[in-house]
Structure 1
Amino acid sequence: MNNQRLTKLRALMAEFNVEALLVTNPMNRKYISGFTGSSGILLITANKAVLYSDFRYRTQAPEQAPSFEFIEHQANVMETIWESAIALHISEITFEAHDMSFETYSSYLNKLKGIKLIPAQKWIEQLRMVKDDTELAIMREAALLADQTFNHITALLKPGMKERDIALEIEFYMRHHGATSSSFETIVASGERSALPHGVASDRILQYGEYVKLDFGAFYQGYCSDITRTVMLGKPTERHREIYQIVLEAQLTTLEQIRPGMSGREADAIARNIITKHGYGDLFGHGTGHGLGMEIHESPRLSLTGDTVLEPGMTVTVEPGIYIAGFGGVRIEDDVVITSTGVDILTHATKDFIVID
């Protein structure tokens, strides 16, 4: 697996005439090498691949990253990398500038003397967008766990419960059934708080006659799932039903119409046009979806600015919503993988309008 990824990365490096690539982003490092430790940097050339880490990973690093030579670095890792670069006659190093502070960049300039530094494009993130069969199998399991968690928690919901206690039960259930952790801070937003797109759980007490929005995911074997469902506690009004049906229409239509070859912007427009048609366009203030995988938010983006063309193997969320201050909000979200003809839906929890009496 990792050898194939390294081969693909080297092909991109050759295409862009990259002499040496320094990989510092932890997720990119893990993706290319397989190394899961908390500290490590990769130096990759056309015929050399080195993993630098410290004493703690003297055993773990070679076991997890057999395609890489392990070098235990000195107190300052950049000094060790500079020594390697000089020994390998490297004159230029391309580095991951997109998530780097100015302070770190300044330290590069200071430690890597005599070596030209060139900002990299997001080549590894580009590779990560398209999942292989092994990744997809794990993501299916993560999605299944999210489905099971939703079924578990809806059987427990009742007035008088605290949002925070619901979130704790969601997270406990996922971890008890194999998740390392939650994919992100669990969202439980009830009543007027359901109009908060990212309303993480609070001490608010659930009451009759209101929405309860649940947004959570399982971080399982290094990959994320992400699901949102909105349920009704007590008898819904006609407005409650109307808002739910509009969001459901937008979500289902998007799932039916997404195709490879579309841009993220075009996919976003499917849901956005439906919500706008019903008069709620100004209350749908976020993108229709985002990529996910090793991280909860990855490329591509299904949004007004999403330029990436969708390809088979990409995994994205589809999550339109309507948020009405003082009333409440609805979001419905599934994880999908782009196929040659459309999408394969990974999350399958019911999207019927659940009313809990």
Structure 2
Amino acid sequence: MKTRINKVAAALKENALDALLVLQPENRYYLSGFTGDTGALLITAGTSFLITDFRYTQQAKEQSPHLEIKKMETTLAEALVELISRLGLHVLGFESDYISYKFYDTLQEKLQQVSLRPVEGIVEQFRLVKNKSELATIERAMGLLDEGFEHICNLIKPGVTEREIALELEMFMRRRGAERIAFPFIVASGPRAALPHGEASAKTINHGDIITIDFGVVVDNYNSDMTRTVSLGSPGALIRQIYDIVLEAQLAGLAAVKAGVAASSVDKAARDIIASHGYGEYFGHSTGHGVGLAVHEGPRLSMRDDTILQEGMVVTIEPGIYLPGTGGVRIEDSVVVEKYGCRRLTKSPKDRLIEL
């Protein structure tokens, strides 16, 4: 943690800042190890601080021994005023994509002699590449998804609802060590499979339905993410054809992943396959995204993101085709970027459409 703080402190000079206020929960945890739900970091070139209230001061001391703990007596704004005045700071950076306007307005009123400067990506740039410990934790979280998928495939029967599938998946993986779900599970069957983010509903699954299951869990604060599409009995020739196209696109995306290539080129590899079969307009989201302390983080594998992939990044490859009124297919794996390719972290079968 101290090394991470030092990297951010070094970045202050590059951004002409005296200090950085960190409120975004994933960034706060990454730099402090603090898991309480109330707290802020003030990072300076010298001493850095974790500000929290009475409920968490002891926890903060135990989890963040590399930081000076500052107890809030009243409000965060008042605690910041006291610290900033004591340290003689003049330029304070803040996370422009997280702070509320109300809090910004409060700070501006109370810190009239301080220049408040919006910044983006100072901490996130260091979160992109995962170390061995982070990768091991993420791999454990991904392994739970493979176990969950095998388990749930044995329970999908006519008459079962999408919500029952989602609930059983969650309970199964939580019994095996998941802290919580990473996002509301997507279980979309029949025509609802045409909804890319069709959260589990009360719909009953029927014979012949295609079923897209997109799910993830959190282990030791790190996320996992996987999608598989199966069918209950035969779904018909069109869905089979779409499945094969999406699989071809997904394999092309996986083959394109390696250190040194642009995120946009991975998106292109998958997107071109779908477009070549005439379904380009039915694939409207990016091919993937980073996974870590947040289930959706950088880099984004889209046509607009030219981030160069580096060894140790964890990204998803998840092309899909969605036909309104008919159904849809998505196949998603999470992988670690390596020097000459990638290593799959989700290993559930996908090489053919599984008929349950």
Q: Corresponding residue for 1:31? A: 30
Equivalent-residue separation in structure 2 for 1:160 and 1:118 (angstroms):
56
Q: Deviations over 1:45-94 (max 9, x none)?
A: 11111111000012100100111000111212211211111111112211
Shift of 1:354: 4.2
Aligned residue pairs, count = 356
1:8 counterpart residue number: 7
- Alignment map for 1:132-281 (pairs within 5 Å): 132-281=131-280
Residues 273-299 of structure 1, C-alpha deviations (whole Å, 9 max, x = no match)? 000001100000100001111111101
Which residue of structure 2 aligns with residue 85 of structure 1? 84
User: Which amino acid is the alignment partner of residue 136 of structure 1?
Assistant: L
Question: What is the CA–CA distance in structure 1 between the aligned matches of 2:63 and 2:354, rounded to whole Å?
Answer: 48
1:343 equivalenced with 2:352 (yes/no): no
1:60 aligns with 2:59: yes
In structure 1, stretches of 5+ residues that fail to align are none
Deviation larger for 346-355 or 19-28: 346-355
Q: Deviations over 1:199-251 (max 9, x none)?
A: 01111111111201111011111011000000011123222211110000100
Tell me, what secondary structure is at the counterpart of 1:58? helix
Distance 1:245 1:33 in 2: 45
Aligned-residue offset at 1:353 = 2.7
User: Following TM superposition, by how much is the alpha carbon of 1:355 offset from its aligned partner in structure 2, in angstroms?
Assistant: 3.7
Cα-Cα RMSD: 1.1
Kindly indicate whether the alpha-carbon contact (under 8 Å) linking 2:240 and 2:353 is maintained by their aligned counterparts in 1: no
Amino acid at match of 1:78: A
Deviations 1:13-69 (A, max 9, x none): 233332111111111111101111111111111111111100001210010011100
Which residue of structure 2 aligns with residue 129 of structure 1? 128
Matches of 1:142 and 1:275, distance apart in 2: 30
CA contact (8 A) 2:282 2:321 kept: yes
SS in 1 for 2:123: helix
Whether the 8 Å CA contact 1:53–1:71 is kept in 2: the answer is yes
Separation (CA, whole Å) in 2 of partners of 1:251 and 1:50: 45
> TM-score, normalised to structure 2's length?
0.97
| Distance apart, 1:346 and its partner CA | 0.6
Task: Give secondary structure in 2 for the equivalent of 1:158.
Answer: coil
What's the % identity of the aligned pairs?
46
Alpha-carbon distance, 1:108 to partner: 0.9
In 1: Cα distance, 2:338 partner to 2:11 partner = 24
Counterparts of 2:178 and 2:149 in 1: how far apart (Å)? Answer: 14
Structure 2 Cα separation of the partners of residues 192 and 11 of structure 1: 52
> Would you say the 8 A contact 1:225–1:296 is kept in 2?
yes
1:72-122 deviations in whole A, cap 9, x for unaligned? 112122112111111111122111122222212101101223111111231
CA distance, structure 1, for counterparts of residue 143 and residue 194 of structure 2:
27
Q: Following the alignment from structure 2 to structure 1, what is the Cα–Cα distance between the partners of residues 88 and 13?
A: 18
Aligned-partner SS, 1:21: strand
Moved more, 5-14 or 214-223: 5-14
Equivalent pair of 1:22/1:94 in contact (CA under 8 Å): yes
**Equivalent position amino acid for 1:37 in 2:** G
Q: Which residues of 2 match residues 274-313 of structure 1 at below 5 A?
A: 274-313=273-312
